[in-house]
Amino acid sequence: MRVLIASDTYYPHVNGASYFTQRLAEALAEAGHDVAVVSPGPHMTATRQMRGKVVHYGVRSFPIGIVPKFRFVVPVVSGISSRVAQAIHEFKPDIVHIQMHFPISRMALYEAQKRGIPVVATNHFMPDNVTHYLHLPRP
């Protein structure tokens, strides 16, 4: 089976959702499936590279200064729509698995539905895990 995983966090990000996505992609590939991941890339340009047996389609991303190695996509300027569409067109997945409900995953859902590709959606993001980085005032 050809599985495209969409996530708004992935290697080298250090967090539970990223680790889950990495382990899932690697385990599916080891089980004999063709696997690709579309997520924030390591640069301010779109990338395509192999990580072991997994194809990684990197969306143009920007560093976040307060969290080392963490990168994010800006919906208006990152080219999410075209990058996700390109990944689906090139990889031709049998199924799309979205890992959370943020811009990359949302666009993967939209593009998969347009093409009639089945989608599995899970959530691996808890706001409580990042709010301490935001230094918000107490209520």
Amino acid identity for residue 107 in this structure? M
CATH architecture, domain defined by 2-115: 3-Layer(aba) Sandwich (3.40)
Neighbours of 67 (CB within 10 A): 14
**37-74 residue pLDDT tens:** 999 988 888 889 999 999 999 998 888 777 767 787 87
Please spell the DSSP secondary structure of 53-77, one letter per residue.
TEEEEEEP-EE-TTSTT-EE--TTT
Q: What is the pLDDT of residues 64-108, one digit of tens each?
A: 777 767 787 877 777 889 999 999 999 999 999 999 888 999 999
Q: What's the average model confidence in pLDDT over 22-44?
A: 94
